[in-house]
Amino acid sequence: MSALAAPVQADDGLATWIAPARTALVIIDMQVDFAAPEGRLGQWGVDLSTVPPALEKAQALADAARKAGAPVVFVGLFTRPETDSSAWRERMRRRGGDPDSDSGLCRAGEVGSDWHGPKPLPGEAVVEKARYSGFHDAPLDSVLKGLGVDTLVVAGLTTECCVDCTVRDAFHLDYHVFLASDACAAYEAEVHAASLKALELNCAILVETDQVITAWEEAA
């Protein structure tokens, strides 16, 4: 177990903090282009070896949330040519990329945007976004308020990017955020660890999947 994700002690009341009546599981960007060898990043040669364990843990969280009666919310990147902002394209160009051929991550309606790993069941909320944060120009906040929750357990990809941005915005919106450290991944272990440390210092309480499952089993 990582020192960054030291277990919350039993007398700290985790089962109360993340009680299913007040908590949603939010799964971020577990999609083909980010997580599958046949996806865009896999085709570009990115090492995806850190991803499968996080997918398995996120699936375990989804199963446990459903059993306990906690809502599961899927947040995904769904881009279109009109959402490729000038800032995004220029940043890509300055980094040596080709904005015309490299912009199409998770294109809506294409295989790259399909879920990979845990998948939404009928009736579960799916929030589409076109930027890193699930709250930016997307209805995540209203979806969560509609569910009556004030607490989030977060899993997803990647730790330093869309998970980080979503967690920070959730904290700014006064949600209690619990980040499942082993149900998230970055493509580099040191980036994952550094991001967890920063989020733990500022925005989230780090937990591990088994802790969350145990708490939800107690609640059930």
Question: Residues 6 or more apart from 94 whose CB is under 8 A from it?
Answer: none
Q: From CA 124, how far away is CA 181, in angstroms rounded? A: 23
Model pLDDT for residues 171-189, shown as the tens digit of each residue: 999 999 999 999 999 999 9
Residue 44: Cβ within 10 Å count: 9
Please tell me whether residue 203 adopts helix, strand or coil conformation: coil
pLDDT digits (tens, 9 = 90+) for 120-144: 999 999 999 999 999 999 999 999 9
Number of residues that this document lists for the chain: 220
Provide mean pLDDT across the span 140-160: 98
DSSP string for 155-174? EEE-IIIIIHHHHHHHHHTT
Residues with catalytic function? 29, 129, 162
Output the pLDDT for position 4: 47
Domains, the chain, ranges and CATH?
Answer: 10-219 (3.40.50.850)
Specify the pLDDT at position 219. 80
The C-alpha atoms of residue 152 and residue 18 are separated, in whole angstroms, by 8
pLDDT given for residue 134 in this prediction: 98
| Contacts (Cβ under 8 Å, ≥6 apart) of 103 | 79, 81, 84, 88, 89, 92
